[in-house]
């Protein structure tokens, strides 16, 4: 077993999950990556684009491009930051919240299959290991910084 073996296995698992999520959300015209942003916004206040990129573990330029697409669909709204003239905040619209509920339901089968594949008894260990990998390979030096978006069902 080598680091390359681990890297390729992680890549394969990520791509399989990403493809399944894209397929589950296709009828809604939303990608898996866009769903990550919508989910990150669904359980909180408006946040800066920079913070959203950090929470989604994504490139700020990619997040900005996705936000523009979601804004065009009237799922999010951007506004000037109240205290930082250089920053903009982003928040879900009422339509965005309704769509999030639909997306959550549409992607439930992916989450169920993931959990069934891993096994409920193994899920906590896998989550811990993946968080360790994310922290160990990430840019953050803050070991207390969350590396996952706390997401739960819309209900």
Q: Assess if residue 107 is contained within a domain.
A: yes
> Pick from 56, 92, 57: which is nearest to 77 by CA?
92
Residue 131 lies in a domain: yes
Please report, for the domain that includes residue 132, its CATH number.
1.10.10.10
The reply to whether 150 falls in a domain is no
Predicted confidence at residue 45, as pLDDT, reads 85
Domain membership of residue 105 (yes or no) is yes
Examine residue 147 and state whether it is found in any structural domain, yes or no: no
Q: How many domains, in total, are found in the chain?
A: 1
- Block means of pLDDT (10 residues each) for the chain, 155 residues, are 94 97 97 96 90 90 96 96 89 97 97 96 95 82 49 62
Under DSSP, is residue 78 helix (H, G, I), strand (E, B) or coil? strand
d(CA 77, CA 71): 6
pTM metric for this prediction: 0.85
pLDDT score recorded for residue 51: 92
Could you tell me if residue 8 is inside a domain?
yes
Task: Quote the domain boundaries for residue 112.
Answer: 3-137
Would 26 be classed as within a structural domain?
yes
pLDDT number for residue 141 = 43
Answer yes or no: are the C-beta atoms of 71 and 86 closer than 8 Å. Answer: no
């Amino acid at each position: 077993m080598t680091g390359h073996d681990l890297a390729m296995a992680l890549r394969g698992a990520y791509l399989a999950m990403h493809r399944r999520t894209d397929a589950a959300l296709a009828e809604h015209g939303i990608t898996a990556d866009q769903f990550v942003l919508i989910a990150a916004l669904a359980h909180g206040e408006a946040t800066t684009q920079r913070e959203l990129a950090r929470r989604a573990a994504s490139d700020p330029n990619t997040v900005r491009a996705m936000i523009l697409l979601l804004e065009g669909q009237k799922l999010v709204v951007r506004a000037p930051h109240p205290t930082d003239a250089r920053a903009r905040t982003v928040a879900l619209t009422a339509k965005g919240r309704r769509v999030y509920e639909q997306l959550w339901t549409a992607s439930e089968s992916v989450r169920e299959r993931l959990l069934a594949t891993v096994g409920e008894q193994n899920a906590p260990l896998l989550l811990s290991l993946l968080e360790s990998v994310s922290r160990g390979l990430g840019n953050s030096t803050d070991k207390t910084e969350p590396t996952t978006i706390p997401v739960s069902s819309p209900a």
